[in-house]
A and B are shown apart, each in its own frame.
Chain A
Amino acid sequence: MNKLISSNKFKNKDNGILQLIIITCCIFIIMSILKPDKFLRLYNFESITYIFPELALFSIAMMIAMLTGGIDLSIIGIANLSSILAGVFFHKIASESGDVGTFTVAIGICLSLIIGILAGCINGILITRFSIIPILATMGTGQLFTGIALVLTGGPAIVGFPKVWAFIGNGKILGLPVPFIIFVVVAIAVSYLLRRVTLGINLKLIGTNSKAALFAGIKREKMILVSYMITGVLASIAGVILSGRTNAAKSDYGISYLLQAILIAVLGGTNPSGGKGNVLGISIAVIALMLLSSGFQILRFSNHLIDFIWGAFLLLVIVLNSIRNKSN
């Protein structure tokens, strides 16, 4: 009886945070038992704090697009285009003055973020003004952005980013990795936006019931446009971190992140039909997935096998979410 009540309580948790924490703990325990000597090393966890922010930012971006019942398939394209443009800019400056200082890097970062906003703006306009459905609009623009990135680089990766740029991806401030700090700041900002600011609440309302939101006087088109701009800028931040960490930028980097971002968004309690999503769920889901991923690498699973597992995991999460929603 007691067990029944507690299991009901656990199911009734609206966003399933508890369920996520249990999944994460299970993964942690299983991996620790399987390979304690390699998995439980400090180095392993430190490298996770460098790698997971970019994936987390992609997932948060995906979640924001999903809030209104949309999706953004162009996030990887936006990320690569913005880092490649910054790279091209640095190369131009370096060939003219021979030196790339902190100030130039700051301009480069601004350039990247502006590209993100612009790209998101294009997505938003196509979706709201031209009433193209988000899947096709972002699939088209994703191809377009990747194509432009390919034209700019001609194929090979852009290498040789300035040191300050690499610091964004590899540096430490007060003992904490810079990507991790960026992630925490963004996560808090987005969380605040979704809970306390009219925009975030309106977005959820639009996703829950588009018609009701319209009658409630919410400026639907404007809100959706802004949400895709936020998605775009988050993707470009992820792109900056990714290129900073690898010190390179290429038009087809991080393609596998797209499936993972959708997987994390859904695992983190986002409803792809709109109306539901939170940053905390995403953050825990990312950690769960990163633990799983590093565990598989330690167990020497091939990348293809990991793809198989991500796909199967996504379908499993769909089943789990459906069971949870039914019992609510």
Chain B
Amino acid sequence: MNISTLFKKTETLIALILLIVMIIIGCINPAFWRLDNIFSLLKSNVIIGIMALGVTLVMIAGGFDVSFPAFAVAGMYLTVKLMIYTNYQGLVIPFAVAILIGLACGTMNGFFVYRYKMIPLIVTLGTASMVKGFILGVVGTSMININKMPPQLISFAKSNIINFTNADGTKYGMTSMILVYLSLALIIHLFLNYTMLGRGIYALGNDKESAKRAGFNVKLVTFTVFCLAGAIAGFAGLLHSSMIWLANPRDFVGMDLDVIAAVVIGGTSIFGGKGSVIGTMLGVFMLVIIKNSLIIMKVETTWQKVVIGLIIIVATAITAWRDKHNQS
């Protein structure tokens, strides 16, 4: 009970800060509240958000993951190449293939973390370098752009929930990809809170030994977490390429820091056992808004790295302070 009220507190706090940030930005630049801006903000949430969901799982279990951008590249590039090679017209099988590629890569992480008790950061650094090196060194380095991209991917990601027309005749709408993101978030939320395996992830993150004694299968939980994170990354990769109409094997560079920053803002502690889907989604929204408003407020892009670095430091300091405070 105590823990659940704390969770509520953490998330309401993030939501409040988010609201204040939005109001401040809105005061500085009223264009922020325009519907097309809000829609485009939500659209930029999708890919970072989906990836952050995977990282949240890993971090709740007390792990760490820097390999998801590489897995996303693998899922995206291999699948699109295969689609072009076989001239396949469908949509479901490609996404299943991308998910399976990510899953296979994730299994590698799970295997090394569980079997050899190695620090997840080092394992995922190794697998990331391997997978990315394999894709660029063996599969290819050339971009697949719009005239070669499978058209069904593009038309899938193009669909909108609602459409509006501006006074000057330009059209804008809410991408239906946001529904993909929201439903995935809902599934993971339910999985984390209402299944034994999901509770096992929290238990493992809190204390490995206690989780073992309470009867959780540590092997199963570890593999589940890393496989799921990999699968989510593979899916996000293919979705990303259909949204930008481009499959670039050098994509997602620097994405790891954005996603990890978002997850940390959301209150997930790397000590494990703490974190939630709602927190992460709020964190992702916060990060997207901050990055977007840096551009709106005409801050030079060179400052972006500084800002992201500061965000990671401040957010982790607050989380660490919360955990310490909570213990004493």
Contacts and interface: CB of A to CB of B under 8 A. Distances in A.
A143 interface: yes
Contacts of A131: 320-321, 324
B229 to A, nearest CB: 16
A223 B122 CA distance: 24
B90 interface: no
B125 A314 contact: yes
Nearest to B115: A322
Contact of A133 (B112, B128, B270, B309): B270
Contact of B302 (A71, A139, A147, A302): A147
Interface in B31-77: 64
A167 to B, nearest CB: 31
Given A311-B130, A315-B123, A144 B310 contact: yes
Interface string A125-148: 010001111011101111111111
A318 B129 contact: no
B240 interface: no
Tier of interface size on chain B: 35 or more
Given A272-B119, A273-B119, A314-B125, A137 B137 contact: no
B129 A262 contact: no
A126 B313 contact: yes
Contacts of A315: 112, 123, 126-127, 130
Main SS at interface, chain A: helix
B212 interface: no
B306 A147 contact: yes
A310 interface: yes
Interface stretch (A47-55, A149-157, A283-291): A149-157
B21 to A, nearest CB: 19
B260 A318 contact: no
A314 B307 CA distance: 32
A266 B320 CA distance: 28
B117 interface: yes
Given A139-B312, A259-B125, A318-B118, A307 B133 contact: yes
A266 B134 CA distance: 22
B304 interface: yes
Main SS at interface, chain B: helix
Given A144-B309, A304-B137, A308-B134, A132 B303 contact: no
B85 interface: no
A318 B123 contact: yes
A312 interface: yes
B122 A151 contact: no
B305 interface: yes
A319 B135 CA distance: 24
Interface in A53-70: none
Contacts of A137: 313, 316
A311 B129 contact: yes
Contacts of B16: none
Contacts of A272: 118-119, 122
Interface string A285-309: 0000000000000000011111111
Interface string A257-284: 0010011001000001100000000000
Given A308-B129, A314-B122, A144 B306 contact: yes
B194 interface: no
A61 to B, nearest CB: 16
B129 A147 contact: no
A148 B302 CA distance: 8
Contacts of A306: 133, 137
B100 interface: no
Contacts of B321: 130-131
B257 A143 contact: yes
Q: Which of A130, A305, A310 has the most CB of B within 10 A?
A: A130
Contacts of A305: 133, 137-138
A132 B322 CA distance: 11
Interface in B252-274: 257, 260, 264, 270-271
B179 interface: no
B137 to A, nearest CB: 3
B154 interface: no
A303 B127 CA distance: 16
Contacts of A126: 313, 317
Interface in B108-162: 112, 115-119, 121-123, 125-138, 141
B211 interface: no
Nearest to A317: B126
A133 B120 CA distance: 14
B320 A308 contact: no
B308 interface: yes
12 contacts: A132-B320, A133-B270, A136-B260, A154-B302, A306-B137, A308-B129, A308-B137, A309-B133, A312-B126, A315-B127, A315-B130, A318-B112
Interface of B: 64, 112, 115-119, 121-123, 125-138, 141, 257, 260, 264, 270-271, 300, 302-313, 316-317, 320-321, 324
Interface of A: 71, 126, 130-133, 135-137, 139-148, 150-151, 154-155, 259, 262-263, 266, 272-273, 302-312, 314-315, 318-319, 322
Name the 3 nearest CB pairs between A and B, nearest first: A308-B133, A147-B305, A311-B129
